[in-house]
Amino acid sequence: MRAKVSIIGAGMVGASIADRLAEKNIADIVLVDIVEGLPQGKALDMWQSGAVRAFETKLVGTQNYEDTAGSQIVAITAGVPRKPGMSRDDLLFTNMKIVKEVVENVVKYSPDCILIMITNPLDAMTQLALHTSGFPRNRVMGMSGILDTARFRTFLAEALGVSVRDVHAMVLGGHGDQMVPLPRLANVNGIPVTELLPKETIDRIVERTIKGGGEIVALLKAGSAYYAPGAAVAEMIEAILLDEKRVLPCCVYLDGEYGIKGVCAGVPVKLGKNGVEEIVEIKLLPEELEALRRSAEAVRELVRKMEIPC
Ligand code: TXD
């Protein structure tokens, strides 16, 4: 039997996840949205694209959570994106209500699923999903680190004039202005980028990475990024369904790892069939660890505003 993945919120990111996942041919997909006809129309269109793109993935759209029953993975994008001038944190109270209701519905029909959160502010919404679902922490995670790292790798590859496929890097911390790109660990197939680029160039790239989401919001004027986020979530889903044991930066609940307790933030994790199978604790320099902890504390402030334990 094919795996079943549901995606809640069939807007820009939700549809982009579905489209990227559909062509992987590894799961059937249910798209849910409150807007009548929207998930149905997009699902039908993507399903029909299989004839041209050569996949068998079946996609359906619905307003009804019963259709999501028994999903192995549920990705949640429901909520509103930011507008130019807004921070992700400005979305907290609007998206909190939506995410709480969505998670309650999802859990009712798929009590054994793995939840992947996408809605912003990402880290706070991941913690809300963990709290609302009552799931163990290996089954609740957020996507942001792969996206932030993709931005970092892209800008590094451009500055180096090399293929982005050969540029490896990691961005940790919360998905906000306090995220922590780690230039010390960035490399071109093992060659440290710190030996290949001047410090000023790296500093500029770090800054652009941190503001990468805002740069796109300012250009689009309505809505935020969705191609790279969609591809990032599809990569996580693939890693879980195919039990790949990929090591990727994801947002997870930390219980003492990196000296951070009781809050969700982005760290390297091993993704396999059980979801987050391991939190990988890499040795950080004191200033890197300090930056990661500061970022986690910024998440904790948001979580407190939602009045959930942290
Ligand atoms: O890295 C990341 N995690 C992110 C997060 C990268 C990009 C975008 N990020 C956030 O994802 C963004 O800030 C938003 O909070 C979400 C969704 O962004 P998207 O660009 O997809 O927004 P859209 O196009 O407005 O789509 C949201 C859909 C829309 O169709 C609504 O009708 C639907 O969500 N929606 C709901 N669906 C189901 N149930 C409820 N209650 C609901 N409320 C809204």
| DSSP string of 176-214, one letter each residue | STT-EE-GGG-EETTEEGGGTS-HHHHHHHHHHHHTHHH
Cβ of 191 less than 6 Å from ligand 1: no
- Residue 78, pLDDT above cutoff 90: yes
The percent of residues above 70 in pLDDT, for the chain, comes to 100
Query: What's the pLDDT tens digit per position in 252-301?
Result: 999 999 999 999 999 999 999 999 999 999 999 999 999 999 999 999 99
Cβ of 78 less than 6 Å from ligand 1: yes
Residue ranges of domains in the chain, CATH in brackets:
3-143 (3.40.50.720), 145-306 (3.90.110.10)
Q: Measured at the alpha carbon of residue 90, what is the angle toward residues 85 and 91, in degrees to the nearest 5?
A: 115
Euclidean distance between CA atoms 210 and 148, whole angstroms: 8
- Cβ atoms of 169 and 152 closer than 8 Å: yes
Tell me the CA–centroid distance for residue 259 and ligand 1, in Å: 32
pLDDT of residue 83: 87
pLDDT of residue 241: 98
Query: What's the pLDDT tens digit per position in 195-208?
Result: 999 999 999 999 99
Phi first, then psi: what are they for 6, rounded to 5°?
-110, 145
Euclidean distance between CA atoms 235 and 146, whole angstroms: 9
Tell me the CA–centroid distance for residue 277 and ligand 1, in Å: 27
Count CA atoms closer than 13 A to 92's CA, side-chain side: 16
- Cβ atoms of 8 and 106 closer than 8 Å: yes
Q: Is the pTM of this model over 0.95?
A: yes
pLDDT of residue 157: 98
- In 69-222, which residue ranges form alpha helices assigned H by DSSP? 92-109, 122-133, 145-160, 199-210, 212-220
Cα separations (Å) of 229 from 18, 180, 269?
11, 18, 18
pLDDT of residue 136: 98
Cα separations (Å) of 54 from 25, 27, 130?
9, 14, 37
Virtual CA dihedral for 7, 13, 241, 166, nearest 10 degrees? 180
Cβ of 214 less than 6 Å from ligand 1: no
Query: What's the pLDDT tens digit per position in 36-61?
Result: 999 999 999 999 999 999 999 999 99
pLDDT of residue 233: 98
Cβ of 68 less than 6 Å from ligand 1: no
pLDDT of residue 190: 98
Q: Counting atoms of ligand 1 from 1, which one is nearest the CA of 143?
A: 3
Which is the catalytic residue, given 4, 82, 88, 175?
Answer: 175
**What's CA 262's distance to the chain center, in Å?**
20
Q: Give me the mean pLDDT over the 161-184 stretch.
A: 97
Q: Give me the mean pLDDT over the 115-142 stretch.
A: 98
pLDDT of residue 27: 98
Tell me the CA–centroid distance for residue 256 and ligand 1, in Å: 31
Give residue 144's pLDDT band: very low, low, confident or very high (50, 70, 90). Answer: very high
Euclidean distance between CA atoms 68 and 61, whole angstroms: 10
Tell me the CA–centroid distance for residue 12 and ligand 1, in Å: 7
- Residue 1, pLDDT above cutoff 90: no
> What is the average pLDDT score of the chain?
97
Euclidean distance between CA atoms 231 and 183, whole angstroms: 23
Q: Is 131 a known active-site residue? A: no
Q: Measured at the alpha carbon of residue 95, what is the angle toward residues 62 and 37, in degrees to the nearest 5?
A: 20
Cβ of 241 less than 6 Å from ligand 1: no
Cβ of 4 less than 6 Å from ligand 1: no
